[in-house]
Amino acid sequence: MNSEIERRRTFAIIAHPDAGKTSLTEKLLLFGGQIQVAGAVKSNKIKKTATSDWMDIEKQRGISVTTSVMEFDYNDYKINILDTPGHQDFAEDTYRTLTAVDSVIIVVDGAKGVETQTRKLMEVCRMRNTPVIIFVNKMDREAKDPFDLLDELEEELVIHVRPLTWPIESGPRFKGVYNLYEHKLNLFQPSKQVVTEKVEVDINTEELDNQIGAPLAEKLRGELELIDGVYPEFNVDEYLKGEMAPVFFGSALNNFGVQELLDTFVEIAPSPRPTKTEEREVEPDESKFTGFVFKITANIDPNHRSCIAFCKICSGKFSRNTPYYHVRHEKTMRFSSPTQFMAQRKTTVDEAWAGDIIGLPDNGTFKIGDTLTEGEKLHFRGIPSFSPEMFKYIENADPMKQKQLAKGIDQLMDEGVAQLFVNQFNGRKIIGTVGQLQFEVIQYRLENEYNAKCRWEPISLYKACWVESDDPEELEAFKKRKYQYMAKDREGRDVFLADSNYVLQMAQMDFKHIRFHFTSEF
């Protein structure tokens, strides 16, 4: 059993939109022999490019549904990739995906450097000490100076970096990369299918001059000396603690630098790690099965109204048709058709091990964060809801469909599409999301899946923060003074809806003993 778990590598690929996640995922699948030509992962997105508004949401859902899990074997390893949506409006989905992985590859665009979405995602990795590898993509286009890029990565992502490959020029002058981990030179040929040649060179001989020309060879020697002087030696333990990130340079589109990334990754990345629960820490090699649901996708196929709950296995072995205990419902359930994914293709699995991710058919039995065990009562922690940044009142547009609307809102909130707050002052429902697109998705789905109409009314709020205090009197005083801006979330916790940054800062200054939280997990 241990050897099965040891060979598992479960990781997510995260990045700002357009940095090249899907291209990188594709090339990894190409090496894993799962697809024969690049472009196969994208095929379903290409068909869905109609212009009208609701098709646009379909298109967006096409993207968000394929936050699927893809698995393949490489050498002796079994690799599970979670390709996450880069679009900021689906960031919550990505944050939750990060709770189910053991390590992360961050893709950075060589020309743009660190972008806002990358920063936010890195914060989540830091909260969990997730090991991070950075891949600087698009070196075959004009890019920033590599030293400037490394400085920016250190400063913006607050992590030590150590380059393991080093680029020779960029854009049209891009010659290739020097692999510091293996001391080999990889020469670049722009081709989307062929893998490039490697040359073993001693960098202090003339052979390097013959390969890339004397001026570039001189420059490369100087830069490599500088790297050894400035950056600490690469240390696997520091990487596993989440304190140091190895950096690779390449071009995913042209399949350059990807194999170095993959080879180093399977060697140093962690196999499934222990998972914290409220009761104890669960070790992956325990004999009994445990797992938790980190993502629910409703209505992948609108004709069948089917939901799929994605379950991450934390320990032991999952077997088909075996009764397992659902902790929140306190009852046992059997699963006759658990599935594993390869982009859109699903296959039924008979068994899966710690580190794997399986899809369970869900008819309303699961919520995000639910636990399945062999009878032990465990609660997995750490599936965060972030403070939303956009708010609107949701109103019923069709009085005859009150029930359908309530049910729809309830199910969509279970799925974690957005967050619901009830204003204590006027009892109105406020929906908070991380992006404008979410409102369109909710409205469209309520109408098409639940046959309910809603309309949005504007409300100007800056942030929602969960408040708590050890001093009940001060908390009461705060709630009285801010009466109009107090709400409850679905768990019945107090939430302060600040209408501007200034108001929030003043509240933090005036009420010293109140703690303001910007994620719902504290």
Contact 374, 325 (CB under 8 A): yes
pLDDT for position 321? 87
Residue 101 reports pLDDT greater than 90: no
Residue 355 reports pLDDT greater than 50: yes
CATH classification (class only), 2-171+233-268: alpha beta
pLDDT for position 476? 92
pLDDT for position 301? 54
pLDDT band at 496 (very low <50, low <70, confident <90, very high): very high
Of residues 364 and 312, more confidence is placed in 312
Find the mean pLDDT for residues 151-171: 87
pLDDT for position 394? 92
Q: Can you point out the beta strands (E) in 110-236?
A: 132-137, 160-163, 165-168, 176-179, 184-187, 198-200
Find the mean pLDDT for residues 401-409: 89
Q: Is 513 annotated as a binding residue?
A: no
Q: Is 137 annotated as a binding residue?
A: yes
pLDDT band at 48 (very low <50, low <70, confident <90, very high): very low
pLDDT for position 392? 93
- The model's pLDDT over 252-281, given as tens digits with 9 standing for 90+, comes to 887 788 888 888 888 888 888 888 888 888
Task: State the span(s) of the chain assigned CATH 3.40.50.300.
Answer: 2-171+233-268, 275-373
Residue 521 reports pLDDT greater than 60: yes
Residue 66 reports pLDDT greater than 50: no
* Max avg pLDDT among 39-53, 290-304, 371-385: 371-385
The region that residue 13 occupies, defined by phi over 0 for left and psi between -120 and 50 for alpha, beta otherwise, is beta
Q: How many CB atoms lie within 10 A of CB 71?
A: 20
Q: Is 139 annotated as a binding residue?
A: yes
pLDDT band at 205 (very low <50, low <70, confident <90, very high): low
Q: Is 363 annotated as a binding residue?
A: no
Mean pLDDT, the chain, rounded, equals 79
pLDDT band at 395 (very low <50, low <70, confident <90, very high): very high
Of residues 261 and 124, more confidence is placed in 261
pLDDT for position 502? 92
Residues whose CB is less than 8 angstroms from the CB of residue 423 and which lie 6 or more positions away in sequence, other chains included? 429, 430, 486, 487, 497
Q: Is 140 annotated as a binding residue?
A: yes
Contact 25, 13 (CB under 8 A): yes
Q: What does pTM read for this prediction?
A: 0.76
Q: What kind of fold does domain 275-373 have according to CATH? A: Rossmann fold (3.40.50)
Residue 486 reports pLDDT greater than 70: yes
Residue 38 reports pLDDT greater than 50: no
Find the mean pLDDT for residues 317-343: 83
pLDDT for position 129? 84
pLDDT for position 520? 67
434 phi and psi angles, rounded to 5 deg: -95, -10
Q: Is 196 annotated as a binding residue?
A: no
Q: Is 20 annotated as a binding residue?
A: no
Find the mean pLDDT for residues 369-376: 86
Task: State the span(s) of the chain assigned CATH 3.30.70.3280.
Answer: 390-517
Report, at the CATH architecture level, how domain 390-517 is classified: 2-Layer Sandwich (3.30)
- Residue 254 CA: distances (Å) to CA of 12, 49, 393: 21, 25, 47
Q: How many CB atoms lie within 10 A of CB 233?
A: 8
pLDDT band at 133 (very low <50, low <70, confident <90, very high): very high
